[in-house]
Amino acid sequence: MKTLRLLAVGDNCVDQYVELGRRFPGGNALNMAVYASRVPGVQADYVGVVGTDENGRFVLDQIRAQGLDTSSVLRWDGETTVTTILIRDGERVFANYQEGVQKDASLPWEALPDLGRYDLIHFSVWGVGREHIPRIRETSAALLSCDFSNQVDDPRTSIMPYLDYSFFSGKHLTEEGVDPEDKLRELKERTPGVVAMTLGEYGSLVCDDDEIYRGRAIPVEIVDTLGAGDSWIAAFLCGQLMGEGVERSMERGHRAAAETCRRLGAWGGEA
């Protein structure tokens, strides 16, 4: 069986649970690489930037502990990105976000590994690397994906025409009285690729061509929802790379998200 190769480019951070006095590594792109690397038959790499502070060392040590290579993680003078997290009834609340060295940063093209080795390259609306998507589209046969988080109307969605997969978090739409299916169809008009939207306990939606698929969340006793959406995306994309249909890939995503919700932090962390 061929080993599938996935590259995640972009954000990382330290998720600081101030009320608990604990910290965990995180960030969509880094989470993607870690979660994908756990899927049998998939090898994942990560490209990003950390600071020269102790938090940067912590993130690098945590990546290595997961068995991932850190040779493409750059260390720039300054502070590593920190997200301050509060937990309210199992839901994570972002209290503060300090971008550190990732603020307004641009990733040198030379920092990217040989892109010809990868079947899929994933980006995030946060962090570095998105600026290279048009060039990668022209020079690489890899599938391209990006997670836009809840930024459904952000100017950075202008890269969607280059993408094979665009991901959004849309639980807030449901809570604001907006029909997520209507928004999904609107987003699909911006790209020829697949558009997916996670909705927390409300499940998920995927629009492929003109068809909308609906996924059901798996009931679980929630400890922490941090990383659930990222694990859904990683599992869904791995399923797609393996040739699964959309519905089966969505089911894979919901199983992964449910498992993530059972623990504190996205992954890793100090004992």
pTM of the model: 0.96
CB atoms within 10 A of CB 259: 15
Q: b or e along 24-34 (b: 16 or more beta carbons within 10 Å of the residue's beta carbon)?
A: bbbbbbbbbbb
Structure tokens at 262: 């059972």
Question: What parts of the chain have a pLDDT lower than 50?
Answer: none
CB atoms within 10 A of CB 70: 17
Phi, psi torsion values for 125, nearest 5 degrees: -65, -20
Between CA 172 and CA 117 the distance in angstroms is: 37
Structure tokens at 170: 């849309």
Looking at the chain, the number of H-run helices and the number of E-run strands are: 7, 13
pLDDT for 31: 98
pLDDT for 270: 81
Instruction: Please say whether the beta carbons of 221 and 264 come within 8 A.
Output: no
pLDDT for 271: 65
pLDDT for 7: 98
Instruction: Please say whether the beta carbons of 64 and 267 come within 8 A.
Output: no
pLDDT for 95: 84
For tokens 């996205």, name the residue.
266
What DSSP designation does 177 have?
T
